[in-house]
Amino acid sequence: MEDFLVQPTLPKGFISIDDAVALINSDTRSDAKVDTQWLANHIDWIEEAHNFNIPLVKSNPNVKRGITIVGWKTVQIMNAYDKEVMKRCIRNHFRDMAGHEYNAPAVRAVSSVADDEVSTGVRPRRARPIAKEGQTIGTGETITTNGANL
């Protein structure tokens, strides 16, 4: 009768939602375990019926950010509940670590313009936007460049 309570076996490197939440919540400034900034910047990548990677880190005073990525854990986001649990966990953890709410950048620029300084490909990539947050677009101002070559 209790067979339905058995957790499915996960592939190597995968962890359950509960384990992912516990891992993220165990991260502290003195004992870094996950890259909180990376998680917050990639929160929109959490989707139903997809996997989400969590970067594992260790403290490293010899690098600029003070942490080095040493591996990854993957969590399966099976449904809307799992998605919202992960997003809430990441937002709460960011708030606890940074002392303020995470505010995602409101202005995004994705460019497929060739930029020889970066690469010869024209794959869509993030670029620095010309528009600034709060600026009205379509005011008639002439812009002679795009976000790719700033």
Could you read off the pLDDT of 41-56 as tens digits, one per residue?
A: 899 889 999 999 999 9
Q: Which comes out higher in pLDDT, residue 28 or 142?
A: 28
The answer to whether the predicted template modeling score (pTM) of the entire model surpasses 0.95 is: no
All structural domains of the chain with their residue ranges:
11-98, 105-150
The DSSP string of 39-88 is HHHTGGG--TTEEEEEEEEEE-TTSTTSEEEEEEEEEEE-SHHHHHHHHH
Using pLDDT thresholds of 50, 70 and 90, give the confidence band for residue 123. Answer: low
